[in-house]
Amino acid sequence: MPDKNSQLQNIKELGALNIPQQKDSPIQILPIIGQIEGHMVLPAETKTTKYEHVIPNLIAVESDSNIKGLLVVLNTVGGDVEAGLAIAEMIRSLSKPTVSLVIGGGHSIGVPLATASDYSFISPTATMIVHPIRMTGMVIGVPKTFEYFSKMQDRINEFIVRTSKITEKKLIELMLQTDELLNDTGTILIGKQAVQQGLIDEVGGISKALKKLNEMIK
């Protein structure tokens, strides 16, 4: 029986008294939820995934012989581009099978995080917003600023094209749509639309994702 302190901690953190435990499972779960936090600390009321927490977990997945596969569960609005792309590259570099599942949203830098896995799923009602990178704070009005933006966008585009079935031409076309988002540029893809465009491999949920990952492990 769990002690009272652990029960109280469970209620505080997860809203439940008892949490189902994975017994001898060879699969590691990596949730990427909320906003990707990078070099800047986000406000306390913002739900975040901190890259300094994710990176050691990914190293542990690679080095632990008991872990045979990784399931990445995504519901993110995006966030720090450098941090998100670094996490995506680390997921892609793992030697063990990886599967991603977009359950709510995989927006902005969440797109390469979803395509980084060996195989990707999206739930029928989940959405992905594809748009050009943005910058907050001070912007210096010189040509070099645009060149920096362009190089950063090229890095993201190259990764998405390399890790999915979408062409670069189609990806740029989706990013530059002007009639989808209010006062913005980009495209909203819902469920099977992400599959049709070649970003995601299949529409499915937890059962399909786990089944696929177990097949890849065997």
SS (H, E, C) 21-84: CCCCCCEEEEEEEEEEECCCCCCCCCCEEEHHHHHHHHHHHHHCCCCCEEEEEEEEEEECHHHH
Query: Is 177 within 8 Å of 187 (Cβ atoms)?
Result: yes
Q: Say how far apart CA 212 and CA 129 lie, in whole Å.
A: 25
Q: Say how far apart CA 115 and CA 8 lie, in whole Å.
A: 37
Whether 131 sits among the annotated catalytic residues: the reply is yes
Q: Which of 108, 120, 123, 164 is catalytic?
A: 108
The residues facing 203 across adjacent strands are 122
Q: Say how far apart CA 96 and CA 83 lie, in whole Å.
A: 22
What is the DSSP code string of 201-214? Answer: SEE--HHHHHHHHH
**Residue 141 DSSP class:** -
Per-residue tokens: 44: 């306390």
Beta strands at 127-130 and 187-190: parallel, antiparallel or unpaired: antiparallel
Q: Which of 100, 107, 117, 131 is catalytic?
A: 131
Residues known to be catalytic? 108, 131
